[in-house]
Amino acid sequence: MEETSKIWMNGELVDWADATVHVGTHGLHYGSGVFEGIRAYETPRGSAVFRLTEHIDRLENSARLLYMELPYSRDELKTACWDLLGANGLPECYLRPIAFFGAGQLGVSSRGNPVEVAIMSWPWGAYLGEEALRTGIRAKISSWQRIGPNVIPHVAKATGVYLNSMLAVLEANRSGYEEAILLTQDGYIADGSGENIFVVKNGVLYTPDLSASILPGITRDTLIQIAQDLGHRVVEKPLIRTDLYLADEVFMCGTAAEVTPIREVDDQVIGPPGPVTLEIQQAYLDTVHGRTERWGQWLEYAPAAKTQA
Ligand code: PPE
């Protein structure tokens, strides 16, 4: 992670080195935090944040599912993101808001612990490498199951949930694969360690429906809309591992991963990135970089830049 100048922490911009927490922090002991991953892109009209509103809405939903009351409103959090972007001066970066139960009582129940909120930003290039975006990656079905809906709410982007993802991606990496694909407890395809999954078969796009222990991805939602607008049929339904093995194309998507083709799953070759994947990847990248107006409603500009436009 590349160091930047400022971090927004509990209402103020502090120097990068000063954004520290106490070792008694509840979130450190029990994974009781919620976070977001957001990207700002350089566009012809200046720096824009992609679907900031939806990310902040999801942060609030995640907090609610953990019985965490955020001490800042959605508008205040959005303003904090803009203030941080202004302070660090990076037109293109990744934003990471995080809220967690801080130090106070130690014990599993978080009642009474203060809620701390911070936002970091730093340059983050292609999640799985530039090469991955062009030629695709090799993914492995994980032996670790995705956390079920009655274990921890998978709809919450909660820090503790990511132990599940960490184990899966480490297992995949240690076996020579770039990414893991987790199955639900019923054996259906869920998502990657940090991405949602799409399959293309006979010209139709398929993606697991939202009941399948997946994070309701904002990129997933974006791509469903883009694909439909481009005239493709998109079906949200339970998928099984052989749907991946026999797919014409498979790709992953997420804020960090953007649209990353998958060329192999386990020991089955899917092939190089196919035409539907490349079309959707191009449309997505054009959208986030403001190179097309077609889906321009998803780009949010700094309040000051808006009045100038
Ligand atoms: N599933 C998981 C498990 C997940 O972590 C992400 C985002 C997604 C799907 C896609 O969600 P969205 O970004 O809203 O389209 N993963 C974030 C964090 C990755 C990390 O390594 O940290 C991200 O992409 O920002």
CATH number at residue 268: 3.20.10.10
Residue ranges making up the domain that contains 54: 6-122
Taking only the tens place, the pLDDT of each residue in 10-19 is 999 999 999 9
Which ligand 1 atom is at minimum distance from the Cα of 165? 3
Flag whether pLDDT at 308 surpasses 60. no
For residues 135 and 117, membership in a common domain is answered with no
Is residue 227, in this structure, part of any structural domain at all? yes
Residues 100 and 155 reside in one and the same domain? no
Residue 20 confidence (pLDDT) above 60? yes
Is the CB of 194 inside a 6 Å radius of any atom of ligand 1? Answer: yes
Residues 45 and 62 in one domain: yes
Tell me, yes or no, whether 65 lies in a domain: yes
Residue whose CA is at the smallest distance from ligand 1 atom 25? 37
Do 146 and 171 fall into the same domain? yes
- Which are the catalytic amino acids? 157
Across the strands, what pairs with 192?
Answer: 181
The verdict on residue 305 lying in a domain is: no
Contacts 24+ apart (CB under 8 A), 205-210: 205/232, 205/233, 205/234, 205/235, 205/276, 206/234, 206/235, 206/236, 206/237, 206/239, 206/243, 207/234, 207/235, 207/236, 207/239, 208/236, 208/237, 208/238, 208/239, 209/236, 209/237, 209/238, 210/155, 210/236
Q: How far apart are CA 193 and CA 297, in angstroms?
A: 29
Instruction: Please indicate, yes or no, whether residues 80 and 216 belong to a single structural domain of this protein.
Output: no
pLDDT score at 111: 87
Ligand 1 site, residue 62, Cβ cutoff 6 A: no
Domain boundary among 73, 94, 122: 122
Same domain flag for 238 and 178: yes
Judgement on whether residues 69 and 14 belong to the same structural domain of the protein = yes
Check if 159 has its Cβ closer than 6 Å to any atom of ligand 1. Answer: no
Structurally, the chain folds into a number of domains equal to: 2
Could you give the 3-state DSSP secondary structure of residue 132? helix
Question: Which pLDDT belongs to residue 228?
Answer: 98
139 and 275 both lie in a single domain: yes
Q: Which of 140-144, 280-284, 300-304 has the lowest mean pLDDT?
A: 300-304
Examine residue 193 and state whether it is found in any structural domain, yes or no.
Answer: yes
| Tens digit of each residue's pLDDT (9 = 90 or more) over 47-72 | 999 999 999 999 999 999 999 999 99
Give mean pLDDT, residues 206-227. 97
> Same domain, yes or no, for 107 and 199?
no
Query: What is the model's pLDDT at position 18?
Result: 97
Instruction: Clarify whether residues 19 and 111 are in a common domain.
Output: yes
Answer yes or no: do 227 and 264 share one domain. yes
Cα(308) to centroid(ligand 1), Å: 33
pLDDT of 126: 84
For residue 309, what pLDDT is reported? 44
Name which of 238, 242, 264 is nearest 179 in CA terms. Answer: 264
Confidence (pLDDT) at 59: 98
Let me know if residue 308 belongs to a domain: no
Is 208 close to ligand 1, i.e. is its CB under 6 Å away? no
**Which amino acid residue places its CA nearest to atom 11 of ligand 1?**
217
Measure 217 CA to ligand 1 centroid, in angstroms: 7
Q: Report if pTM > 0.85.
A: yes
* Mean pLDDT computed over every residue of the chain: 96
